[in-house]
């Protein structure tokens, strides 16, 4: 099928996910165009991370339709277009994901962590994978740590390596699941700077974040999740500075209060009030 500028890179319709009797995702529709940066905000338990994980089927949706590049999936059980294991493996090789807890292999060096998937999944020659990995490590300022083990790195360094590992697969879409929430405040900046540079280069990104100033400055759109649905969706200035629902107003006020206590008062006051 011929791609057009108006055709979204990712199209989701009626995505639903339950855990037992608890429905966590309640019929989400979303289009994401190439080059968009979509930030997802919301309280804990609103379904943000589950939704993000459903995109590359780490958490398989119970029902719903998904289109991404050549893939056309219907997640309903028994559907003729239900994804196969092989299709899911290929999908995940095209969608990079970075988690809150770095997930680096502790027994592998930084370089070995970055080249592992390109060699094992993509079948790249080791020499080519090393060339790609070393270029990425140069970019993120960790080339001199290429032979170090993760335990010798700071949390911010480990998270940057995790991002480089995902980028080594040359994904068309990157998912970030609260990647700074486990970091000390002074280490958050180095990770957000890297993510901002990816956005500036046109990488399509979906990210779950509580970094309101980052969402304001970098995002094309901001989604506010509430009880498993998208309660607000719009430009950052509209969603963050002119919230329509009392619940979003309360959420932003609480984030501001929490960040004041954590020392992030100036940036997030500006993000909400500017």
pLDDT at 261: 52
Please count the structural domains in the chain: 1
pLDDT at 186: 81
To which H or E segment does residue 15 belong? strand 10-19
16 against 254, higher pLDDT: 16
pLDDT at 269: 47
Residue 272 lies in a domain: no
pLDDT at 2: 36
Please give the C-alpha separations between residue 7 and each of 10, 16, 52, 76, 219, in angstroms, as whole numbers: 9, 23, 21, 24, 20
Domain that holds residue 99: 10-267
Maximum Cα interatomic distance, the chain, rounded to a whole number of Å: 55
Residue 5 lies in a domain: no
Please state the separation of Cα 146 from the chain's center in Å.
Answer: 24
Residue 193 lies in a domain: yes
235 against 262, higher pLDDT: 235
Token pair of 241 as six digits = 């500075």
**Whether residue 260 has pLDDT greater than 80:** no
Residue 106 lies in a domain: yes
Residue 134 lies in a domain: yes
Token pair of 72 as six digits = 């056309």
Residue 4 lies in a domain: no
pLDDT at 152: 96
pLDDT band at 258 (very low <50, low <70, confident <90, very high): low
pLDDT average, residue stretch 13-28:
97
What is residue 195's three-state secondary structure?
helix
DSSP structure class, residue 148: S
pLDDT at 257: 61
**Whether residue 4 has pLDDT greater than 90:** no
- CATH number of the domain that 197 lies in? 3.40.50.300
Q: Let me know: does 112 contact 164? Beta carbons within 8 Å.
A: no
DSSP E strands: which ranges in 99-241? 173-177, 205-208, 221-226, 229-234
Residue 2 lies in a domain: no
Residue 208 lies in a domain: yes
**pLDDT tens-digit map of 124-157:** 999 999 999 999 999 999 999 999 999 999 999 9
């Amino acid at each position: 099928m011929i791609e057009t500028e108006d055709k979204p890179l990712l199209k989701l319709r009626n995505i639903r996910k339950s855990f037992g009797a608890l429905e966590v995702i309640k019929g989400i529709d979303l289009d994401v165009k190439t080059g968009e940066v979509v930030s997802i905000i919301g309280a804990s338990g609103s379904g943000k991370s589950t939704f993000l994980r459903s995109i590359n089927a780490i958490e398989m949706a119970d029902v719903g339709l998904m289109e991404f590049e050549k893939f056309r999936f219907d997640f309903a059980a028994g559907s003729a277009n239900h994804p196969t294991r092989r299709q899911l493996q290929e999908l995940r090789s095209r969608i990079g994901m970075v988690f809150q807890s770095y997930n680096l292999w502790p027994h592998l060096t930084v370089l070995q962590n970055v080249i592992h998937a390109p060699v094992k999944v993509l079948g790249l020659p080791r020499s080519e994978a090393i060339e790609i990995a070393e270029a990425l490590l140069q970019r993120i300022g960790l080339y001199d740590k290429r032979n170090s083990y993760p335990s010798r790195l700071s949390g911010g360094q480990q998270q940057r390596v995790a991002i480089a590992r995902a980028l080594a697969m040359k994904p068309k879409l990157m998912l970030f699941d609260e990647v700074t929430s486990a970091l000390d405040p002074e280490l958050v900046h180095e990770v957000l700077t890297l993510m901002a540079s990816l956005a500036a280069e046109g990488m399509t990104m979906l990210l779950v974040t509580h970094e309101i100033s980052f969402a304001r400055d970098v995002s094309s759109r901001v989604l506010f999740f509430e009880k498993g649905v998208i309660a607000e969706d719009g430009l950052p200035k509209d969603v963050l500075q002119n919230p329509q629902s009392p619940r979003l107003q309360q959420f932003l006020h609480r984030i501001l209060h929490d960040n004041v206590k954590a020392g992030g008062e100036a940036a997030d006051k500006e993000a909400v009030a500017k």
